[in-house]
Every structure is written in structure tokens, then in C-alpha cells.
Amino acid sequence: MKKIILTLNIVLIGILAAAQPVSIENLNQVKIEFETEIIDYGTIEQHANGIREFKFKNVGNAPLIISEAKKSCGCTIPTWPKEPIKPGQSSSIKVKYATERVGIINKSVTLISNAERASIVLRIKGKVISPQTTPLVQENGKPVAK
């Protein structure tokens, strides 16, 4: 009887030793999926609305926590959710660009999170131009739009 119990224990230990361990990391993966990681403002006029949104979803199986959003310059202001984003939940990162500056837009915001991709770079691009004005002509001594 002792030999049978000993043999069963040895077989059981062998089976357990050969089994692949379940990774805890795979059970609690955080994955973030963006609709787009680049937003093109196109050509916009000076002082136009400079706010755009990067929409995303937590496609992992653990809460997503965005700890920081680093901007590339002072003309770009990111706003991100401070509370954890549950699995399957969607949210967005808002980026405000200071459109009072005329010229090319090529800025970035780097997100730091607990996601599988711990650092994600979001980009904005485009061009800010001076407002277009309509030339005025004189009609009967009064300025009128042409």
C-alpha cells in the first residue's frame, strides 16, 4: 500500500512539474487602443478653436491608469482622465493648441500609463494662418464688403 501511495505521489509531482505555470501578468493586462494617434488640424485660422480629442478604449482586462501626459511645449495643453478607466470603457485625451500663433503645428503629447505600451506619443499637426479679411470698397462714401 505504501508503494502505491508513493508511486502516485511521484506521478502527481511529475505531472505538476511538467505543467506550464499560469502567468499572473496575462490575467491582468492593460491595453489601450486609440482611434488615431495623430490628429491633423489641417489649415485653420488664427484664434480658431484649438481643442481636439484623442478617443481611446481600454481593451485589456484590468483598469487603465494614466499617470501623466507630457507636452512638447507650452503651447499645447493636454487634459486626461485622472480616474482609472475600467476594462471595456472608453474615454478621451483632450489637447488644446494655442492658435494665436501663426505657423506650422507639429507637437506631441506623451502619455505615461500602466498599459502594455507604457509610453504612447500622440501627435497634432497642421497650419495656423492669419484670418482672411474681405476687402472693402467705397460706395456712396461708405465702406462696403466687396
C-alpha triplet 35, 39, 45: angle, nearest 5°: 145
| CA distance linking residue 6 with residue 22, whole number of Å | 27
Per-10-residue mean pLDDT of the chain, 146 residues long, equals: 62 56 64 97 94 97 96 94 96 96 95 95 96 66 57
Closest CA relative to residue 126, chosen from 34, 35, 56, 48: 48
Parallel, antiparallel, or unpaired: how do β-strands 38-45 and 119-129 relate? parallel
Q: Give residue 28's pLDDT.
A: 74
Q: What is the pLDDT of residue 6?
A: 56
pLDDT confidence of residue 9: 58
pTM assigned to the model: 0.72
pLDDT value at residue 132: 76
Q: How far apart are CA 129 and CA 70, in angstroms?
A: 26
Q: Please tell me the predicted confidence (pLDDT) of residue 19.
A: 53
Pick the CATH number of 24-129 from 2.60.40.10, 2.60.120.10, 3.40.120.10, 3.60.15.10: 2.60.40.10
Q: What is the pLDDT of residue 18?
A: 56
| Alpha-carbon distances of 61 from 81, 114, 117, rounded to whole Å | 18, 12, 14
Closest by CA position to 90, among listed 54, 127, 115, 142:
54
